Structure 1
Amino acid sequence: MKVLIVGAGQVGESIARDLESDHNVTVVDQRSERSEELAYGYDVLTVTGDGTELSTLQEAGLADSDMVIASTDDDETNIVACSTAAAHSEAFTIARIKHTKYLRTWDGVDRAFGIDDMVCTNLLTAQSITRVVGLPAAIDVDPFAGGRVQMAEFEISDACPIVDQTVQEADRYDSLTFAAVIRDDAVVIPDGATTIAAGDRVVVIGSPESVHSFADGLEPSHAGDSVEEVAIFGGSEIGYHVTRLLGERGFTPRLIEQDPDRARELAEELPAAQIMESDATDMEFLEREHIDEADVVIAALESDEKNLLVSLLAKRLGVDRTLAVIDTPAYVELFEAVGVDVAINPRVVVAEEITRLTQSEKTENVALIESDKAEVIEIEIDADSVLAGRPIRESIADLPDGVVIGAITRNASFVTPRGDTEIQPGDHVVLFVDAAAINETTNKL
């Protein structure tokens, strides 16, 4: 497939990196130095120019492109680029946008703006945050198979009961698979003898019930507790959608917004929430309102630095868990190192969604692990698949190293994968796949 990407920022680069090995990729950007960086670093063609101009798109090969992805940081630029591409080619168009006002227009009219698919950064980020809120201790959560399968990533601290246990000792759950251990930036496919160490990140795949039980096991003092009190700092669009989504799930979140006009607007639009007008860094206010009683504090202000400050203040007050929206990729590891429990980068979230949309027809869903180290994919098995009609212990030998079958659903029911489990055509299989094995695996499935 020939893919044309407009925008060589973090999102565009991430998409190009994911697609370069299996597709013909051309990237358009106005900055010549950025074009040179991508041309040097990846197996892609680059064109320097304005992606909203037809002549630039034509120079980049619009006429024979199968897909055009507009991924700049500007909503209007992406809409115009996709509209121009749609008017002059048969390419499938995907526009990245931040604000939901354009998404509402697109949803209301079939192929509005001439765009085939639209991904909204702010909404996707809010959805990612609410999934993590619903699973204590997790740093990443993704649903598969219509919610019947869950993938979750956990960071193992010194205090976790499973530290220094083997996978065999830690695996006490009927419908859970230990898919991978991320250790020192390397992916380890574990077996029963693999020892889990402090600092590891463990990826598990299983039924939601087993994943929740595993999460409880990591923090026994909170086992069985449900998240009840959520405080959200910042009435940004992300903060608004997090509050709205939590309200739809039965929470009564507290949203703190400093601007009085925005606070009044939010109070009208979010009747299920408690809207409070205050400076999020005012310690006297935080103490008076007992923010320390919150189970989770979410920092969704417009500044990375303020989100860090609010998170650290919440930790100082005694809040168990903090989540912060981080716009600068380089800050993510720093924020987590100084005490923020989960740092979520909207650009990574939207790049993952766009990558999912570019997958083969067989791939139903995809989640990226640590941005680019591995993927968790869901595939519907057909009769030609190497997995069909054979026990897993036999068929897995035909797949490359770095593949773990994490879960199976059959006729909307969960099936725990074991060595003698026979996968049938029509089954949905959720697999963990190391980055180096992705192309070979999808081709065989």
Structure 2
Amino acid sequence: MRIVVVGAGEVGSNIAASLSADHDVVVVERDPATVEELTYSMDILALEGDGASRETLREAGVEDADLLVASTDSDETNLVVCGTAKTLGDPLTIARVRNIELLDTWQASQGAFDVDVMVSTDLLTAQDIVRVIGVPGALDVDPFASGLVQVAEFQVPAESDVAGRTVADADRFESLTFAAVVHDGEVSIPRGDTVLEAGDKVVVIGTPAGVQAFSGTVAPDQTLDEADDFVIVGGSAVGAHVARLLAERGVQPRLVERDPERARELAEELPGALVMEHDATDVDFLVAEGLDRADALVAATDSDEKNLLVALLARNVGVKRTVAVVEDGEYAHLFEAVGVDVAVNPRRATAEEIVRFTQEGRVENLSLIEGREAEVVEFEVDAGSVLTGRPIRESVGDLPDGVVVGAITRDHEFVVPRGETEIRAGDHVVLFVAADALEDVMTLA
């Protein structure tokens, strides 16, 4: 597949890095220093120029491109890039936007702006946050099979019930599969005798109920089955979206915004939320309003530094779980290292979402693990698959190493994947696959 990426900021660079091994990638960027860096660091063609220019896009080969991704930091530029590309060829166009009104307009008339797929960074980030705070201890949660299946990643704390236990001991949930363990940055497929050590990350695939039950063993002191006390600090677009999504689920969140005018706007826009005008770095205010007893606090201001401060203050006064938005992806690991439970990077989340659309053929859903060390993919099995009509323990022997059958859905119902389970044509399977094996797996399965 020939892919043209316009804009080599954090989103564009992540997209190019994720796709360069399997596709012919061309990146268009205005900044000459960035172009030079990309040329030497990735196996791609990097061009200096204006991606909204017909001449530049022609030079990038848009006429023959299968996909164009407009990922600059300007919504308007991204729309112009897509429109210009359509005058030269017929690539699938993907535009990254922040303005939710543009997304609303596009959804009302799909194909508007000559954009085939529109990805809203702020809404996507808010959706990620709402999923994560709903599963105690989770670092990431992705839905598959129309919500029948969840893929979740947890970090094992020293005080966890599963720390120091083998996978066989920890695997007490029928509707759950242990897909991977990440130890010292290395991803491996766990066996029954694999020991889950404190600090390891574990990837599980199962029903939402199974994932929720497992989360109680990872973070028993954070059980949120009855959680309804969520605090959002910051009336940014992300913060407002989080509040709206929670309200739609029947939960009344509390949103703290320092600016009086913005607080009034939010109070009018979000009737399902309690908007409080105050500075959330005021510890006395946090305690006086009972925010210290919240089940989770989301720091979603427009400042990474303030989000870190707010999250750490909240953790210090007793908030059960903290989530912070961090725009600079290089800081995400730092946030978590100093005590923030989950750091969500909008640009990385957007890049992963866009990468999903580059999967050709049968892949219906995809999630990236540890950057792209591994992937979780969903697809429909046909009669010619090596998986069809045979027990899983037998059929996986014909697949490359590094593959786990994580879940099966049949006629919109979850089927527990065990060694003796037979997969049928028409079933939807969710596989954990090492990144370097994905192409071979999709050919065989």
Residue by residue over 1:355-413, the C-alpha shift from the partner in whole angstroms, topping out at 9 and shown as x without a partner, is 11111230110111122221111111112222122221121112111111100001111
Q: Alignment partner of 1:366: what SS? A: strand
Shift of residue 104 of structure 1? 1.1
Shift of the 336–354 alpha-carbon distance from structure 1 to 2, 3 Å rule, reads same
Matches of 2:366 and 2:101, distance apart in 1: 26
Matches of 1:311 and 1:23, distance apart in 2: 40
Match of residue 183 from structure 1: 183
Match of residue 401 from structure 2: 401
Q: Alignment partner of 1:330: what SS? A: helix
Structure 1 segment 355-366 matched on structure 2, within 5 A: 355-366=355-366
Matches of 1:110 and 1:269, distance apart in 2: 26
Letter in 1 for 2:166: T
* Residues 154 and 202, structure 2, Cα contact 8 Å, conserved in 1: yes
**1:205 has 2:205 as partner:** yes
Q: TM-score, normalised by structure 1?
A: 0.98
Structure 1 segment 77-116 matched on structure 2, within 5 A: 77-116=77-116
Structure 1 segment 350-429 matched on structure 2, within 5 A: 350-429=350-429
Match of residue 150 from structure 1: 150
Match of residue 293 from structure 1: 293
Match of residue 334 from structure 2: 334
Give the alignment's Cα RMSD to 1 decimal. Answer: 1.2
* Residues 217 and 223, structure 1, Cα contact 8 Å, conserved in 2: no
* Residues 82 and 93, structure 2, Cα contact 8 Å, conserved in 1: yes
**1:129 has 2:129 as partner:** yes
Q: Alignment partner of 1:38: what SS? A: helix
Letter in 2 for 1:211: V
Between 1:407-416 and 1:72-81, the stretch displaced more is: 72-81
Structure 1 segment 270-349 matched on structure 2, within 5 A: 270-349=270-349
Shift of residue 22 of structure 1? 2.1
Match of residue 15 from structure 2: 15
Letter in 2 for 1:132: V
Identical residues among aligned pairs (%)? 55
Shift of residue 224 of structure 1? 6.8
Match of residue 42 from structure 2: 42
Shift of residue 33 of structure 1? 2.2
Matches of 1:17 and 1:433, distance apart in 2: 19
Residue by residue over 1:222-267, the C-alpha shift from the partner in whole angstroms, topping out at 9 and shown as x without a partner, is 5474221100000000000000000001111000011111111111
Q: Alignment partner of 1:358: what SS? A: coil
Q: Alignment partner of 1:202: what SS? A: strand
Letter in 1 for 2:338: V
Shift of residue 87 of structure 1? 2.1
Letter in 2 for 1:405: V
Matches of 2:223 and 2:305, distance apart in 1: 33
Matches of 2:78 and 2:59, distance apart in 1: 18
Letter in 1 for 2:361: E
Matches of 1:94 and 1:304, distance apart in 2: 27
Between 1:122-131 and 1:3-12, the stretch displaced more is: 3-12
**1:239 has 2:239 as partner:** yes
Q: Alignment partner of 2:329: what SS? A: coil
* Residues 348 and 371, structure 1, Cα contact 8 Å, conserved in 2: no
Q: Alignment partner of 1:210: what SS? A: helix
Structure 2 unmatched ranges of 5 or more: none
Residue by residue over 1:15-46, the C-alpha shift from the partner in whole angstroms, topping out at 9 and shown as x without a partner, is 12222222211111112222222222222112
Q: Alignment partner of 2:364: what SS? A: strand
Between 1:227-236 and 1:372-381, the stretch displaced more is: 372-381
Matches of 1:275 and 1:258, distance apart in 2: 10
Structure 1 unmatched ranges of 5 or more: none
Matches of 1:57 and 1:26, distance apart in 2: 10
* Residues 232 and 253, structure 1, Cα contact 8 Å, conserved in 2: yes
Matches of 1:337 and 1:22, distance apart in 2: 33
Matches of 2:34 and 2:425, distance apart in 1: 45
Between 1:79-88 and 1:8-17, the stretch displaced more is: 8-17
Matches of 1:7 and 1:352, distance apart in 2: 16
Between 1:172-181 and 1:280-289, the stretch displaced more is: 280-289
Shift of residue 98 of structure 1? 1.4
Letter in 1 for 2:278: S
| Number of positions where the alignment pairs a residue of Structure 1 with one of Structure 2 | 445
* Residues 63 and 89, structure 2, Cα contact 8 Å, conserved in 1: yes
Letter in 2 for 1:31: D
Shift of residue 64 of structure 1? 0.8
Q: TM-score, normalised by structure 2?
A: 0.98
Matches of 1:182 and 1:86, distance apart in 2: 43
